[in-house]
Amino acid sequence: MVINHSSLLLLFFFSTLFIIPINSQLLSSIIHCSDTSGDRNTYIIHVETANATKFLAREARERYYRSFLQPLSSSGEQLMLYSYMHAINGFAARLTEAEVKTMMKMKGFVHAQKDQEYNLHTTHSPDFLGLQQDHCFWKESNYGKGVIIGVLDTGVMPNHQSFTGEDMPLPPAKWKGICDFDIPVCNNKLVGARGFLRGCRNSPVDDNGHGMHTASIAAGNFVANASVLGQAKGNASGIAPKAHLAIYKVCYKHCHGSDILAAIDQAISDGVDVLSISIGGRPDPFYDDHMAIGALAAVEKGLFVSSSAGNMGPKESSVENNAPWMLTVGASTMDRSIRVTIKLGNGEEINGESAYQPDNFPFTMLPLIFPGEKGVVRAKTCSDGSLDGINVRGKIVLCETGGGVNNSIEKGMVVKNAGGIAMILMNQGKQMLTVKARAHVLPAAQISYGDALRIKKYMKASPVATAGILFKGTVYGTPVSPSIASFSGRGPSVINNGVMKPDIVGPGLNILAAWPSPADCGAMPTFNMLSGTSMAAPHLAGVAALLKASHPDWSPAMIKSAIMTTADELRRDGKPISDETGNSTNYFATGAGHVNPSKANDPGLVYDIDIDDYISYLCGLGYSDRQVSAVARRYIECLSRKAITAEELNYPTFTVSVASESQKTVTRTVKNVGENNAVYTVQVDAPEGVKVDVYPEKIEFSEINQTVVYDVYFTAGDTSDRIGSVSEGQLRWVSGKHVVKSAITVSFV
């Protein structure tokens, strides 16, 4: 398989779409649901696998689970929401605290945890747009053929052109899922769809848009001659256009752990290969993180899990989805911008972005006005009514972001209705670093906070400030890309005890993909540009599907290793990947780097991890036997196995802590997936403050699948002046053909 890297990264984001008018039958959202109000809460109950019960049938399992409920209440039947088969050994039920306490004393009880809320990882901006786009080089291919991607999200609108079954092969015979719409709308692309809400079957229709957006990023079908509002023209597709999509709607108004577990349970039994989950929550220990537990079950069954790092960056330790068995994806910017250049009267130039690019807007110098200049808060943000009595007619109006005005469309309407000719949307503070190519209802540009200060300074200095606006359309090759989006969740993880997170970054800023048609747009083709790690995770799910198609025998950990050890660390201009302001950054922001799909297809060596390693790692976290048993879905006695630390997990990165005047050794096992008779030698960029020795320094393989063990010795001298600091380096195994890179982070304790 050959993947053209540049076209992957340039093109996948142009899922330009048509939509057929919505069939109202699809919108009957609730199929059946029971009441979940009252004084009971939903709990997820983990129980021991009863040694005497043969768990061959779902019914036997359910009977066993019910045996925990029967003593509690005569209406035990009504309490159970879900009886899980694969995702955990246990069930979800509506219980009072007293009932949970009673249950804790029962034989076979392992662990109980209240249902948790999880959130979608997008910066939600309901901006509809039409985008000018005529550079499209994507050719139809067989990438991802035969692979099924399960998307846990807000559902799907099945009548979108991204999800047609045209030119799609039949799903593989192992597919067992169902299509739970009221009418038969599934096809060879959209092979299944189900909704899970509080123990009930529910409609998988996407009334939010997030779910179809992420699904089309991962595996949207090829859409030829796509055009939107007469502007966008080009071919569109997701990352793995030949992969099948199985939709599991788990987020209605909220997303709950019990529903997420039910979806993972279903995806495992349906025959899904890759899960894309752009959802996260509070970083809880793994035994209380329903999604992490379900993900481990999925990984054990051979499913790859791509999840989002969260949007709470750039704050340190803001990363979510920290389990080492998941791929945790941060968001990067693309090398594409949809540019608007503003020329100020003093000759200064400022670059901004706008998705709306009028092709007949003349470049003329026009007066600039900032209605909020006098400190009127509502006028600063161009809130409704705030421009009354201000003469903005024929002028370029400056508005700040925020201020309770919901989106750029609303601000634009205020400016337009007041007679303004164009709008400059100024980022309001250092916290809002992201400049987005948004939809606008008039000629407009969003600019950064720093550039906003430049304009304000110019306006102060010149009594008749003017500016001209130049719409430059889509500009490729922005040299400072990829860089890390400011919102992208940063490590280190506070709960995984030192496994480097995020693992990787992928495109997550200004991603254009499928979007439902709003009721008042009729049959208008719609798509939308969203930003968030929500958009980055499905890119990696798509890449994993491509790798799964070309290497069906690779385990999830092998696929993950291949993605991480081949990642790009440099921007297009040859400098290290930076943050969004161009400042240098670190592994806690970039993970292993920016995904390079074609290199990931041929990594040379991989670091594999099996379920036993993860269980030993869970023991090493200091969890109790019951807590480990809940996560592992089997009875575990940590004393009877070798617990390992996070440092010793066979991860493709190294995170070690060293004390002054000490030495630490960690061991890794690499597997040859390149050629027979391969020879690798080691190269190390030692982190400042430690000496790094590798033994052996040269490793040889005579055949594929052979494994070799090596040791890495970290030796620290007197590092007492470094305590609390972190330094970074890299270890590389290099053959004539491959470079297998591992990031090293050393923290001094």
Ligand X SMILES: *[C@@H]1O[C@H](CO)[C@@H](O)[C@H](O)[C@H]1NC(C)=O
Candidates 46, 121, 160, 210; catalytic one = 210
The whole-angstrom separation of Cα 444 and Cα 425 is 7
- In terms of CB distance, is 581 or 747 closer to ligand X? 581
Q: Residues 387-426: x/- map of binding to ligand X (CB under 6 A)?
A: -------------------x---x----------------
- Residue 75 touching ligand X (CB under 6 A): no
Cα–Cα distance list, 348 to 343, 362, 421, 448, 450 (Å): 6, 19, 21, 15, 13
- Residue 706 touching ligand X (CB under 6 A): no
- Residue 702 touching ligand X (CB under 6 A): no
Three-state secondary structure readout of 153-190 = ECCECCCEHHHCCCCCCCCCCCCCCCECCCCCCCCCCE
Q: Residues 633-652: x/- map of binding to ligand X (CB under 6 A)?
A: --x-----------------
Spatial neighbors of 211 by CB under 8 A, at least 6 apart, are: 151, 153, 154, 155, 156, 247, 249, 251
- In terms of CB distance, is 404 or 724 closer to ligand X? 404
Q: Residues 89-128: x/- map of binding to ligand X (CB under 6 A)?
A: -------------------x--------------------
Stretch of residues binding ligand X (CB under 6 A), selected from 46-54, 456-464, 568-576, 605-613 = 46-54
Is-catalytic flag, 534? yes
| Helix-strand-coil split of the chain, %, nearest 5 | 25, 30, 50
Count CB neighbours of 677 within 10 A.
Answer: 10
The whole-angstrom separation of Cα 307 and Cα 330 is 9
Q: How far is the CB of 224 from ligand X (least distance, A)?
A: 4
- In terms of CB distance, is 96 or 141 closer to ligand X? 141
Stretch of residues binding ligand X (CB under 6 A), selected from 131-139, 178-186, 514-522, 689-697 = 131-139
Q: How far is the CB of 654 from ligand X (least distance, A)?
A: 26
The whole-angstrom separation of Cα 475 and Cα 243 is 30
- Residue 225 touching ligand X (CB under 6 A): yes
Is-catalytic flag, 210? yes
State both tokens at 418: 């007041």
The whole-angstrom separation of Cα 196 and Cα 200 is 6
Instruction: Kindly determine how many residues on this chain lie close enough to bind ligand X according to the rule CB under 6 A.
Output: 20
Q: How far is the CB of 741 from ligand X (least distance, A)?
A: 23
Strands 304-308, 327-332: pairing is parallel
Contacting residue, 63, 139, 254, 315, with ligand X by CB under 6 A: 139
Q: How far is the CB of 488 from ligand X (least distance, A)?
A: 14
- Residue 555 touching ligand X (CB under 6 A): no
The whole-angstrom separation of Cα 508 and Cα 313 is 13
- Residue 7 touching ligand X (CB under 6 A): no
Candidates 162, 308, 531, 534; catalytic one = 534
Q: Residues 227-246: x/- map of binding to ligand X (CB under 6 A)?
A: -------xx-----------
Three-state secondary structure readout of 500-560 = CCCCEEEECCCEEEECCCCHHHCCCCCEEEEECHHHHHHHHHHHHHHHHHHCCCCCHHHHH
Q: Residues 317-336: x/- map of binding to ligand X (CB under 6 A)?
A: --------------------
- Residue 625 touching ligand X (CB under 6 A): no
Spatial neighbors of 246 by CB under 8 A, at least 6 apart, are: 148, 149, 150, 151, 175, 177, 191, 192, 193, 267, 270, 272
Candidates 115, 127, 153, 270; catalytic one = 153
Q: How far is the CB of 630 from ligand X (least distance, A)?
A: 14
Residues between 573 and 592 with contacts to ligand X, criterion CB under 6 A: 581, 583
| Cβ density class 316-353: b for 16+ within 10 Å, e for less | ebbbbbbbbbbbbbbbbbbbbbbbbbbbbbeeeebbbb
Task: Fill in the DSSP letter of residue 696.
Answer: S
- In terms of CB distance, is 178 or 704 closer to ligand X? 704
Determine contact, residues 674/737, Cβ cutoff 8 Å.
Answer: yes
- In terms of CB distance, is 520 or 553 closer to ligand X? 553
- Residues at the site binding ligand X, with contacts judged by CB under 6 A: 48, 50-51, 108, 136-137, 139-140, 224-225, 234-235, 406, 410, 553, 581, 583, 635, 704-705
Positions annotated as catalytic residues are: 153, 210, 534
